[in-house]
Structure 1
Amino acid sequence: MLPSVSRAAAAAVSSSSSSSSSSSSLLLISSSLSKPSAPLSLLNPFLSLSKLPVSLSKPTFPQNSRLVSSHKPPMNILNKLGFGPKTPDPSSMDSSIAQGPDDDVPAPGQQFAQFGAGCFWGVELAFQRVPGVSKTEVGYTQGFLHNPTYEDVCSGTSNHSEVVRVQYDPKECGFETLLDAFWARHDPTTLNRQGNDVGTQYRSGIYYYTPEQEKAARESLEQQQKLLNRKIVTEILPAKKFYRAEEYHQQYLAKGGRFGFKQSPAKGCNDPIRCYG
């Protein structure tokens, strides 16, 4: 029932002459109800929207109102010479393989470790310089696409991280030493970003092979957090299948980078690392 509308109708009836027929009264009531002198919202502010006519209660939108994103993955040095990202074919997704453990075997007496700290060019050179590290490779891991290319990774759809897989001699180089090099190389408080490199492939991560590595990584993170006034966003996860990156990415800065200026991978070298050569 609409009280204010009823009052308007009653006023209309009382103002009519007593000689009017009953049909005229009904006509006046009908007119008052069908043509209110004020908007419904003013007549009864408590009127439920669900009871309004469809044309009033439900706004009309175009049928093809699908949201379209205009975001495009950022280009970094022409996607590091890959000349632009591409979207991977969904049919090539095989998470059962990509999400499996890294089944490669290190050299006898050696161990593996994986680190993601932004663009893998500079990160690899930093680990090349660590005494006790016998081999480094850059590649992709933690994603859902089997055998990804660099373009796949840059598309932002495969969830891979750019990492360096380090092979080291635990008798000469403890895992804690590698962790020190990892923290020193990047800002672990910026999510999916290192400097001008933006994207999930640049996220900070420690990917462990043994329970001992996991324990050391978590303890190290706690120590680092005490030194920083921003929250560390580094992920610590089991090492998953490692996909070696294209050959031109391997030891990129040591080989000269894009300008041909070789940067020293000598053990103990402290020369500043120029990320893009």
Structure 2
Amino acid sequence: MKLLATLTFLSTATTSTSFNLGRGLVSRNSNFGNLTTRPYSRSTRLNLFENIFGSPPSQEIVYSNLKYPANEMAEAALAGLVPSLSSKENLQIATFAGGCFWGLELAYQRLPGVLHTAVGYTQGPVLSPTYKAVCSGGTGHTEAIQVYYDDTCTYTDLLDVFFNRVDITTVNGQGNDRGTQYRTGIYPHTTEQIEEARERMEREGEKVKRVATEIKEAEVFWPAEGYHQQYLEKGGQNAEKNAKDVIRCYG
């Protein structure tokens, strides 16, 4: 197995080292501000979205107009915070990226114990990114989903949804969506999440020839525009707990 996943650990150090994880070589880099520039491609989904609805608004997102929990997530982002617990309800937080954030959000909406979800952008250096900017490839972010979950849901449950939905072997994309803004990742908020994500990735990696999904410490999560939140549910797809209907990413 060629392991491409990047595991980044909670640390205040700024040095970079490499270490062995099973049969793969993993980069350890705690200098999270550094971003390697890679080529981008325009989003197929952005083209489709514009053909149907016209160009998305290019102006800045008015975060105060977003509904909960996206507005709370925006407050944290604007303050430069990466919380592990929600401020209003003291719920646990987890962040994942799996290509099209519409479909992954609906998958987590259906999971018992997940009380709130929001889609957004993370792992990029640009402040307050918009959908159009992210899809153009100029911000360094990936589309992501952040969930608030209670004690009836475990991080194992969240990882089960991720690995059942995401092809961890695909570099920079899922399905027809291609570009580094669609790279897949698991972004732990706590040491416990990091350890479990690393162990699970090692097991899943044994089943495939290579792993392209990154595992990095959670960074600031910028919620997306309101029209993206719970997009597939708004389009009529079933968001009830334990629903088994096929998720259609394009509504």
TM-score by length of 1: 0.64
Considering only aligned residues, what root-mean-square deviation do their CA atoms show, in Å?
Answer: 2.4
Correspondence for 1:186:
166
Q: Which amino acid aligns with 2:237?
A: Q
Q: What are the superposed Cα offsets for residues 76-123 of structure 1, whole Å, 9 maximum, x if unpaired? A: 25263473798x9xxxxxxxx89x542485143410000000000000
Correspondence for 1:249:
228
Q: Separation in 2 of the partners of 1:194 and 1:76? A: 11
Q: Separation in 2 of the partners of 1:174 and 1:190? A: 26
For the pair 1:236 / 2:215, whether they are aligned, the reply is yes
Q: Separation in 1 of the partners of 2:126 and 2:154? A: 32
For the pair 1:220 / 2:200, whether they are aligned, the reply is yes
Q: What are the superposed Cα offsets for residues 123-169 of structure 1, whole Å, 9 maximum, x if unpaired? A: 00000000000000000011111001101101112110100001001
Correspondence for 2:55:
83
Q: Secondary structure at the match of 2:44?
A: coil
For the pair 1:200 / 2:180, whether they are aligned, the reply is yes
Q: Separation in 2 of the partners of 1:158 and 1:263? A: 30
Greater per-residue strand proportion: 2
Q: How does 1:113-124 map to 2 (within 5 A)?
A: 113-124=94-105
Q: What are the superposed Cα offsets for residues 40-86 of structure 1, whole Å, 9 maximum, x if unpaired? A: xxxxxxxxxxxxxxxxxxxxxxxxxxxxxxx8624325263473798
Q: Secondary structure at the match of 1:127?
A: helix
For the pair 1:162 / 2:143, whether they are aligned, the reply is yes
Q: Which amino acid aligns with 1:80?
A: F
Q: Secondary structure at the match of 2:116?
A: strand
Q: Separation in 2 of the partners of 1:210 and 1:79? A: 37
Q: Secondary structure at the match of 1:137?
A: strand
CA contact (8 A) 2:168 2:211 kept: yes
Displacement after TM superposition at 1:195 (Å): 1.1
Correspondence for 2:129:
148
Of residues 86, 93, 106, the one that matches 1:112 is 93
**Aligned in 2, Cα 1:216/1:132: closer, same or farther, shift over 3 Å?**
same
Q: Separation in 1 of the partners of 2:223 and 2:204? A: 30
TM-score by length of 2: 0.70
Q: Which amino acid aligns with 1:231?
A: R
Correspondence for 1:267:
241
Q: Which amino acid aligns with 1:161?
A: T
**Aligned in 2, Cα 1:156/1:175: closer, same or farther, shift over 3 Å?**
same
User: Structure 1: which 5+ residue stretches go unaligned?
Assistant: 1-70, 89-96, 257-261
CA contact (8 A) 2:125 2:140 kept: yes
User: Structure 2: which 5+ residue stretches go unaligned?
Assistant: 1-39, 61-76
Q: Separation in 2 of the partners of 1:84 and 1:108? A: 32
CA contact (8 A) 1:141 1:241 kept: yes
Tell me which structure has the larger Cα radius of gyration. Answer: 1
Q: Separation in 2 of the partners of 1:213 and 1:72? A: 31
